[in-house]
Chains A and B, each alone.
Chain A
Amino acid sequence: MTATKKAHPYGGKMTFWERTYLPEVFRGMGITIKHVIHNLLHTSEMPTVQYPEEHRSYSPRFRGRHRLMQRDDGSPRCVACMMCSTACPADCIHIVAGEHPDPAIEKFPETFDIDLLRCVYCGLCEEACPCDAIRMDTGIYEIAGTTREEFFVSKEFLLNNKSDGTEV
């Protein structure tokens, strides 16, 4: 096989001025300076968010940290059917079902733990839930901690996540 000459990526030989790079340098500077002046004159249009003082607002469909919905009496709406843990691709939901004293409710989660470190925030759990008991509409995306245990959240924690992102 004979070596073929590769075409120049920009189509041929560079001219003298191109080889000095100066026209492009000045053009780039021009764009930068144009934006600096524009932003200084129109500060309200700047896309930068002053995090953490300011929070960016996401769409209502954004999947944040989970919460468990409550019945009117404050008990969990969840009936421990395990649909969410079955659907979970990350295997991060751990439920232990128990017998509820009220036969009309019959089954409830004795424990409902989510391992937030394993969770991939795909939302399949809330889609699988037949009782609208788990939602990811808290909008909370700042999930930080210093130990692994802090990310292993319990039923009580999840029940007290409010949709507006506040914790009670």
Chain B
Amino acid sequence: MVKVTIDGRELEFPEGTSLFDACREARGEALPHFCYHPDLSVAGVCRLCQVEVEGMPKLTIACNTGVREGMVVHTRNERVKTAARQILEMHLINHPVDCPICDQAGECGLQDQYMNHGLYESEVDKDDKVHKAKAEVIGPHVILDKERCVLCSRCVRFCDEVTGTGEMGIFNRGDRAEIGIAPGKELANNYSLNTVDICPVGALTSRDFRFKKRVWLLKSTASICPGCATGCNVRVDHEAGRIFRLKPRYNKEVNGRWMCDIGRMTYRGVHSEKRLDGPMLRGDGDLAPVSWSDLHTFLAERQVGLWISSPAQTLEEQALLAALGEQARTSGGVSTAGRGDGDDLLLHGDRTPNRTGLEWTDLQQHDPASLVALVRETSGAVVVHGGDPAETAPGFLAAVGGRALIFLGTHANATSKAATVVVPMSVWAEKDGLFVNKDGRVQAVRRAVARPEQAVEDWRFLVDLWSAAGCADAPAGLPALRRWLAERVPALNDLDLNALPAGGLAPATAPAGAGGDE
């Protein structure tokens, strides 16, 4: 431990701490900065985080300085403030004043730094600014505005150090220096939208989110990406019942500060045109809308022979389905469904968020042939909750034959088209639930937007079915359901699922909390 005095406060830090982090702790807020990023190497190019260290003749940048025993540092005196203001003025010399157009406005580092540390009168005429290319498409997800760039090189370091793809670079010198793509390349890696997140200004913006919504109108809900078994922590940004984007949420145990582009696009399914929009019953050949009471009457008359869940359902739903199927056979669906190519960063080959949950709730997965065989073995109605076995298990519909096929799902697919009964359910962003990721970490998805008017919340519907089937003490309400779940699943026995920390819990190891948000 070394003793450092920052702004008159004497504090101790472990050796090797950067002065930047030490100052953040001492001040309670970060020093002004653009180029520093906790997950990237130190570049020291923006010069904004300069502090005065006694004994040094000139100001020094905190990000590239380590703490030393007996250091006396000043971060708030007039000399430091003037330096930050002047450096900021230099950054803004050629920065266009097009905040009304810029998508970053509202979450822009430059706006924040100017309001906190700048507030000078500009001496540069708007017409004297150096103009560069605007709105250049540099990849499938990212658009580049070279004028707005402050050359902090975060995106360049991200592509070099995190993805290792090295598409980006800084070209030319002086006030003609600009960020760009290496000749013949495009920013097409699966993590390209992280460069948009870390860009402190509006130079890199998302093509998907571009001009859709001003950021200050968005509301955020902490949730989990349903895109693969990694279970990246995300922030769902939504407004008026519509999701506009997913952003990574810091969890050092799972995804750090990153998430992949495939995961970010999963929100599109929520507002898909294929969403099922009402309960339907097959009458004379065709599926026709049916009232809820008629639907429940129909279900009450059927003896269910097989319950099939899916690795995309939440842990609560899987456990409820397993409980419902205790008098019948159960299955966790087809094990090959939702497989894709993974990579060694975040994207997992298993594109379903909760396959571990199936194991925990004792729902066995089958390969297509054995699922079809299981269907043949059973008699009575077949309930499919999520997934699309008609597509993934060839011969499934033939095996069901003339028996009732009850589909509880969200989107129209081959199974819903062949079903006798279709019950519209909620997608991950419309319900509360738990996902268990590939490492056995239990994380909560939270309701961000309202579900379609006619859809039901999955676990409520299953609890109702269970009560109707004669269970007297079916859990009522989410807290009771989670207590019931913790008792039922051995891995969760000691956990309070109603008080999960923001970063989730991994029952196998010691509970590891997530750090703060960057």
- Chain B residues near A97 (CB, 8 Å)? 211-212
CB-based contact B100/A130 at 8 Å: yes
CB-based contact A103/B135 at 8 Å: yes
Q: Of A82, A99, A130, which is within 8 A of B210 by CB? A: A99
Residues 199-221 of B, flagged 1 when their CB comes within 8 A of A and 0 if not, give 00000000000111010110000
Interface of A is mostly: loop
Q: Judge if B499 is at the interface, Cβ distance under 8 Å.
A: no
Q: Judge if A83 is at the interface, Cβ distance under 8 Å.
A: yes
Which residue of the partner chain A has the closest CB to B210?
A99
Q: Of B105, B135, B212, B214, which is within 8 A of A106 by CB? A: B135
CB-based contact A79/B211 at 8 Å: no
**Cα–Cα distance between A88 and B416 once the two chains are bound (Å):** 45
CB-based contact B211/A98 at 8 Å: yes
Q: Which of A79-106 contact B (CB under 8 A)?
A: 79-83, 86, 97-99, 103-104, 106
- Chain B residues near A122 (CB, 8 Å)? none
Q: Judge if B134 is at the interface, Cβ distance under 8 Å.
A: yes
- Chain A residues near B212 (CB, 8 Å)? 97
Q: Which of A93-150 contact B (CB under 8 A)?
A: 97-99, 103-104, 106-107, 130-131
**Cα–Cα distance between A99 and B105 once the two chains are bound (Å):** 17
**Cα–Cα distance between A81 and B105 once the two chains are bound (Å):** 9
CB-based contact B134/A103 at 8 Å: yes
The count of residues in chain B whose C-beta lies closer than 8 Å to any C-beta of chain A is: 14
CB-based contact A86/B101 at 8 Å: no
CB-based contact A86/B214 at 8 Å: yes
- Chain B residues near A107 (CB, 8 Å)? 101, 211
CB-based contact A79/B101 at 8 Å: yes
Q: Of B105, B211, B216, which is within 8 A of A80 by CB? A: B211
Contacts A86-B214, A99-B210 hold; do A106 and B100 have CB atoms under 8 A apart? no
CB-based contact B216/A86 at 8 Å: yes
**Cα–Cα distance between A97 and B103 once the two chains are bound (Å):** 11
Residues 120-162 of B, flagged 1 when their CB comes within 8 A of A and 0 if not, give 0000000000000111000000000000000000000000000
**Contacts across chains A and B counted by CB atoms under 8 Å:** 33
CB-based contact A131/B211 at 8 Å: no
- Chain A residues near B210 (CB, 8 Å)? 99
Least CB distance, A15 to chain B, in whole angstroms? 70
- Chain B residues near A103 (CB, 8 Å)? 133-135
Q: Of A98, A104, A131, which is within 8 A of B100 by CB? A: A131
- Chain A residues near B101 (CB, 8 Å)? 79, 81, 106-107
**Cα–Cα distance between A104 and B210 once the two chains are bound (Å):** 16
**Cα–Cα distance between A82 and B100 once the two chains are bound (Å):** 8
- Chain B residues near A82 (CB, 8 Å)? 214, 217
Least CB distance, A12 to chain B, in whole angstroms? 65
Least CB distance, B102 to chain A, in whole angstroms? 9
Q: Of B100, B133, B217, which is within 8 A of A81 by CB? A: B100
CB-based contact B100/A79 at 8 Å: yes
**Cα–Cα distance between A130 and B105 once the two chains are bound (Å):** 13
CB-based contact B217/A86 at 8 Å: yes
- Chain A residues near B133 (CB, 8 Å)? 103
Q: From B101, B135, B210, name the one whose CB has the most chain A CB atoms within 10 angstroms.
A: B101
**Cα–Cα distance between A79 and B101 once the two chains are bound (Å):** 6
**Cα–Cα distance between A99 and B143 once the two chains are bound (Å):** 12
Residues 46-61 of A, flagged 1 when their CB comes within 8 A of B and 0 if not, give 0000000000000000
CB-based contact A106/B134 at 8 Å: yes
- Chain A residues near B211 (CB, 8 Å)? 80, 97-99, 107
**Cα–Cα distance between A124 and B355 once the two chains are bound (Å):** 53
- Chain A residues near B99 (CB, 8 Å)? 81, 130
Which residue of the partner chain B has the closest CB to A130?
B100
Residues 479-513 of B, flagged 1 when their CB comes within 8 A of A and 0 if not, give 00000000000000000000000000000000000
CB-based contact B100/A83 at 8 Å: yes
Least CB distance, B147 to chain A, in whole angstroms? 10
- Chain B residues near A81 (CB, 8 Å)? 99-101, 105, 214
Least CB distance, B437 to chain A, in whole angstroms? 37
Which residue of the partner chain B has the closest CB to A97?
B211
Which residue of the partner chain A has the closest CB to B97?
A130
Least CB distance, A23 to chain B, in whole angstroms? 68
Least CB distance, A115 to chain B, in whole angstroms? 16
Least CB distance, B137 to chain A, in whole angstroms? 11
- Chain A residues near B216 (CB, 8 Å)? 86
- Chain A residues near B134 (CB, 8 Å)? 103-104, 106
Which residue of the partner chain B has the closest CB to A107?
B101
**Cα–Cα distance between A82 and B215 once the two chains are bound (Å):** 11
**Cα–Cα distance between A82 and B98 once the two chains are bound (Å):** 13
**Cα–Cα distance between A97 and B135 once the two chains are bound (Å):** 15
* Interchain residue pairs A-B with the least CB separation, the first 8: A81-B100, A97-B211, A103-B135, A103-B134, A107-B101, A82-B214, A130-B100, A79-B101
Known: A103-B135, A107-B101. 16 other contacts (CB 8 A): A79-B100, A81-B100, A81-B105, A81-B214, A82-B214, A82-B217, A86-B214, A86-B217, A97-B211, A99-B210, A99-B211, A106-B101, A106-B135, A130-B99, A130-B100, A131-B100
Listed A/B pairs (19) with beta-carbon separation below 8 Å: A79-B100, A80-B211, A81-B99, A81-B100, A81-B214, A83-B100, A86-B214, A86-B216, A97-B211, A97-B212, A99-B210, A99-B211, A103-B133, A103-B134, A106-B98, A106-B101, A106-B134, A107-B101, A130-B99
